Amino acid sequence: MDARSADISPDTLPEVLPDLPQEPSGWRSARGTPSLAGMFGSVQTAKQGSFWRKLLAFLGPGYLVAVGYMDPGNWATSLAGGSKFGYALLFVALLSNVMAIVLQSLCTRLGVGSGRDLAQACRDSFPRWASLPLWLSAEIAITATDLAEVIGTAIGLNLLFHIPLEIGVVITAADVFLILALQAFGFRWIEAFVVTMLGVIAACFAVQIAMADPNWGAVVRGFAPTTDILRNREMLYLALGILGATVMPHNLYLHSGLVQTRGYGEGIGEKREAIKLANIDSAIALCLALIINASILILAAATYHRAGRTDVAELDQAHAFLAPLLGSTLAPTLFAIALLCCGLNSTITATLSGQIVMEGFLNWRIAPWLRRMVTRGIAIVPAVVVTIWAGGKATGQLLILSQVVLSLQLPFAVVPLVMFTASRAKMGPFVAPRWLTVFAALTAALIIALNAKLVWDVM
């Protein structure tokens, strides 16, 4: 029997009690059935052996989370930043990645330390009149994320196979069969698929950057902070766009649930080690996300900016300019393949986060395929209507709208996360250190302020 689900009696195993965390009294209700119950504790971890063997068992969830940091909205901001200002905004991409690592570390601490994902923690902490609006906010954020995925995948299909956008949008509904097939084999297969797609994306950009031959000295200098960002209003706006689109609300729910797919045990020492290893996993994965996002910006700087095309922001526009600038038809093809892989990856993470949110807030479980069809259906309708009515150029505006919606929902996920992990009454021995709480609170405040400014500017 899995140590995490075993019924340990104080009368029969008194010697185990000193290492078992007692349920903190700060929660309004006791822990319920975990989300993603079929995957809960399904990946076995190494109790003995080397550090690397233990870490290997924890590698995976971070890569699913990293997918959210390279969605089509991030592509658009990185393309715009690179084409307009060259390599200068690479520092902003680095800073945003550090901020993301901090917040995602709180997710692993909450999931492992409290045994609850963020949705369950909200349900067990707040009265129903407060938790239900939070659930609705999370669902809106997931739908907005799905809308961006629909658009990105449809553009990828259009660029690769010349499928009309409105038809490509409808085709994206078929991705539910991919989810079902992967879930039937187990959670490790889902992680393997995501990592493979990330590898393809990274390889595509590596080839494109090699063809573009960027100025590597300028690339290195781009990672250093510059006061030009504060002096140049347009540069500041794009910097805010990169920072503001960093943390996706659904990623916080997703990560706090995915870390519980590991069978790490119930002891305090086991949980502390699980938190450490899960944080290493997410840090490595988010560094990969930084490499890919920086690659998009570097590619734009080495091609569009160098050629004097400083107004490239649309995905299809970026694709069309690559061939004449690099003198090869391979580069735009690789660009389209990477975009399509990104859409497929995001499909998986949106499905899982949707399940975690619904099961965590409402304790309501429905078939994953039904949940997926409902969410994707809601996202497809506006995408089909807009592409038929206004054409392909309107998809860029719809993409911006999805990012604005995500920005509006962000505080409703970030603030509870910082509150819960800072509470000793709720977290017990796994409460976040004071320095981490302060750093996370400042990070959250900055991201929320930047998102608010973006929303204001767009409106």
Q: Domain limits of the chain?
A: 50-458
And the tokens for 298? 């570097």
pLDDT for 125 beyond 80: yes
Of 455, 209, 213, 433, the C-alpha closest to 335 is 209
Q: What tens digit of pLDDT does each residue of 255-281 get?
A: 999 999 998 888 899 999 999 999 999
Q: What tens digit of pLDDT does each residue of 382-395 get?
A: 666 766 665 556 66
Rg (CA), the chain: 22
Q: How sure is the predictor about 400, in pLDDT bands with cuts at 50, 70 and 90?
A: low
pLDDT for 4 beyond 70: no
Contact 345, 74 (CB under 8 A): no
Contact 21, 271 (CB under 8 A): yes
- Rounded to an integer, the average pLDDT of 20-39 is 74
**Lowest mean pLDDT: which of 132-146, 278-292, 421-435?**
132-146
Q: How sure is the predictor about 349, in pLDDT bands with cuts at 50, 70 and 90?
A: confident
Under CATH, domain 50-458 is a member of which superfamily? Amino acid/polyamine transporter I (1.20.1740.10)
Q: How sure is the predictor about 366, in pLDDT bands with cuts at 50, 70 and 90?
A: confident
Q: Is the pLDDT higher at 311 or at 399?
A: 311
Mean pLDDT comparison of 130-134, 317-321, 407-411, highest-scoring range: 130-134
pTM: 0.86
- Rounded to an integer, the average pLDDT of 72-85 is 83
Average pLDDT score over the chain: 83
Determine whether 171 is exposed, middle or buried from the number of CB atoms within 10 Å of its CB (0-12, 13-18, 19+). Answer: middle
pLDDT value of residue 174? 76
Residue for token pair 């959210």? 68
pLDDT for 235 beyond 90: no
Dihedral angle computed from the Cα positions of residues 141, 144, 148 and 149, in that order, rounded to the nearest 10 degrees: 70
pLDDT value of residue 21? 57
What are phi and psi for residue 44, nearest 5 degrees?
Answer: -75, 145
pLDDT value of residue 245? 65
Q: Is the pLDDT higher at 231 or at 372?
A: 231
Of 179, 138, 207, the C-alpha closest to 368 is 179
Q: What tens digit of pLDDT does each residue of 323-340 get?
A: 888 877 888 899 999 988
Percent of the chain with pLDDT over 90: 36
Contact 61, 215 (CB under 8 A): no
- Rounded to an integer, the average pLDDT of 407-425 is 90
Q: Determine the Cα–Cα distance for residues 127 and 129; give it in Å rounded to an integer.
A: 6
pLDDT value of residue 16? 41
pLDDT for 3 beyond 80: no
What are phi and psi for residue 34, nearest 5 degrees?
Answer: -65, 150
DSSP H/E element including 81: helix 72-85
- Rounded to an integer, the average pLDDT of 75-89 is 87
Residue for token pair 């389209």? 336
- Rounded to an integer, the average pLDDT of 151-179 is 81
- The strand pairing partners of 262, in sequence order, are 43
Q: What tens digit of pLDDT does each residue of 285-304 get?
A: 999 999 998 999 999 999 99
pLDDT value of residue 6? 43
Angle of CA points 172, 75, 65, to nearest 5°: 70
Q: What tens digit of pLDDT does each residue of 32-59 get?
A: 778 777 778 788 888 788 888 999 999 9
pLDDT value of residue 394? 60
